[in-house]
């Protein structure tokens, strides 16, 4: 049922690469976080400390995606207003994604109907559900909008939130299915090395979450195919002696995605055999 696009690639190829990455991390003493149950301590930052964190790691978000980092003094989502713009004001390649990133962080801290309304308004301002249906250009950082849609639906499974989530997830799925032999060509990609690969990895992360949330095997198959497409790039990255923070995040995402992929395949097989 689950077949990657590369006939010469198997799940075992990915597992072997996973083992090489883990060895690489151990040899270079990198702290590895695979999930929130790994025993790694939860990192708490104040909003002021978070701004400093952003300046040091301008593209890193895995700790937030995996729920390993929380900001302890957020009273409501408007506390994030202008945080990203103030940090990236002098970096034109990143200021373009500051709004998308901001709405993602806000979505992680929805505690009221008012917070929900702010996040939904900003999502519609960026890309509304009707625009998703005909979207042709995919900006680097669009993954932040996808993740925000998940958080919005977690807070309230209202008809409006469901409609938005389904619109964006279906458009991403169609994009991956149409371009079966290539990765997504994002526009306005930051000049940092491997930024495109980082965004591809986040899209895979989203597809796996969508597969689990919607119980839809189409997203799992799309993720499997996308994992095959980045395999060669990940393999080359794992050979580097000096890894940047982006490189580390990409490799951690690869491990995380592979682990989630194996879990979903196992659960699907168990369900079909029951």
Question: For residue 22, what are its two tokens?
Answer: 């883990």
Which pTM does this prediction carry? 0.87
Q: How many helices (H) and strands (E) does the chain have?
A: 13, 2
Q: Does the structure show a pLDDT above 90 at 205?
A: yes
pLDDT digits (tens, 9 = 90+) for 91-137: 655 656 788 999 999 999 999 999 999 999 999 999 999 999 999 99
Q: How far apart are CA 66 and CA 249, in angstroms?
A: 12
Band (pLDDT 50/70/90 cuts) for residue 38 is: very low
Interhelix angle for 113-126 vs 142-155, to 10°? 150
Residue 67 DSSP SS3: coil
pLDDT value, residue 4: 45
49 versus 25: the higher-pLDDT residue is 49
Phi/psi of residue 91, each to 5°? -115, 95
Band (pLDDT 50/70/90 cuts) for residue 163 is: very high
Q: Does the structure show a pLDDT above 50 at 35?
A: no
Residue 31 DSSP SS3: coil
Q: Does the structure show a pLDDT above 80 at 72?
A: yes
- Domain boundary assignment for the chain: 11-273
Question: By C-alpha distance, which of 215, 214, 228 is closest to 146?
Answer: 214
* Average model confidence (pLDDT) across the chain: 85
pLDDT value, residue 43: 82
Interhelix angle for 159-178 vs 217-237, to 10°? 50
Q: Does the structure show a pLDDT above 50 at 236?
A: yes
pLDDT value, residue 1: 40
């Amino acid at each position: 049922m689950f077949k990657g696009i590369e006939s010469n690639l198997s799940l075992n190829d990915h597992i072997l690469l996973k083992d090489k990455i883990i060895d690489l991390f151990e040899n270079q003493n990198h702290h590895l976080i695979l999930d929130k149950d790994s025993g790694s301590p939860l990192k708490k930052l104040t909003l002021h400390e978070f701004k400093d964190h952003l300046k040091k790691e301008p593209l890193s978000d895995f700790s937030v995606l995996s729920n390993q980092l929380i900001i302890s003094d957020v009273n409501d989502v408007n506390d994030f207003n202008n945080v990203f713009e103030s940090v990236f004001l002098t970096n034109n390649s990143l200021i373009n994604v500051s709004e998308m990133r901001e709405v993602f962080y806000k979505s992680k801290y929805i505690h009221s109907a008012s917070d929900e309304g702010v996040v939904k308004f900003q999502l519609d301002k960026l890309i509304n559900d009707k625009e998703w249906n005909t979207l042709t250009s995919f900006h680097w950082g669009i993954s932040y909008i996808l993740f925000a849609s998940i958080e919005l639906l977690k807070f309230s499974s209202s008809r409006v939130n469901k409609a938005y989530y389904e619109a964006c997830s279906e458009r991403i799925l169609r994009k991956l299915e149409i371009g079966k032999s290539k990765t997504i060509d994002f526009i306005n990609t930051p000049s940092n090395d491997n930024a495109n690969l980082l965004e591809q990895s986040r899209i895979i992360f989203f597809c796996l979450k969508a597969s689990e949330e919607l119980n839809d095997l189409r997203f799992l198959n799309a993720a499997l195919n996308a994992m095959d497409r980045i395999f060669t790039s990940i393999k080359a990255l794992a050979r580097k002696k000096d890894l940047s923070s982006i490189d580390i995040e990409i490799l951690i995402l690869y491990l995380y995605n592979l682990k989630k992929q194996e879990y979903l395949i196992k659960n699907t097989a168990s369900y079909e055999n029951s």
